[in-house]
Amino acid sequence: MEVIVDPRSFFQAQSGAIVGSVWIRTQGENHMVFPEAGWTDFPVVILGWWLNEIVALVSGHATEATCSFMDGPFEFRLTASGDVQLSRRPDEGTLNLGRFRRPESARELWDSLHTAAVAVLTECEARGWSNDDVDVLRRYVS
């Protein structure tokens, strides 16, 4: 699994929130993008959430990581054994959009998340953007 960010798409809303393109791409025979290529969300916030979840999984403090998107009802779950489930949470319950197994998924995702977070922080620094969410993300990267 790979986290894709497009720092050129980033902008800072009047609220101070940083908005831009962020999505997931899976590899191999299960190749797909999720929720869709170019998905617009809050990359600083959700990468911080995801890093928190994956740190717990990789360190053995959790057996499952749930990584949600902020804009829309989308999330993916990753287990320590490498099961990945891509989901949409409608009002009636969770709709499974894809499920596959890759034992190396947690480590792949951690590496990709770290790379994406560095790219996001680099862009924020270049544009002079700083807020509490940027500080949280910076703590995970350092």
State the pLDDT at residue 84: 85
Domain residue spans of the chain: 2-135
Report helix, strand or coil for 82: coil
Kindly tell me if the per-residue pLDDT of 95 is higher than 60.
no
Largest CA distance in the chain: 43
Gap between the Cα atoms of 124 and 86, Å rounded: 29
Query: Is beta strand 18-25 parallel, antiparallel or unpaired with respect to 40-41?
Result: antiparallel
Query: Which residue did the predictor score with more confidence, 68 or 87?
Result: 68
Mean pLDDT throughout 88-109? 63
The residue behind tokens 């809050």 is 42
* pTM of the shown model: 0.88
**Secondary structure letter of residue 78 according to DSSP:** E
State the pLDDT at residue 99: 56
Beta bridge partners of 18: 12
Listed range (35-44, 81-90, 110-119) with the worst mean pLDDT: 81-90
State the pLDDT at residue 100: 55
Q: What is the mean pLDDT of the chain?
A: 87
pLDDT tens per residue, range 111-122: 899 999 999 999
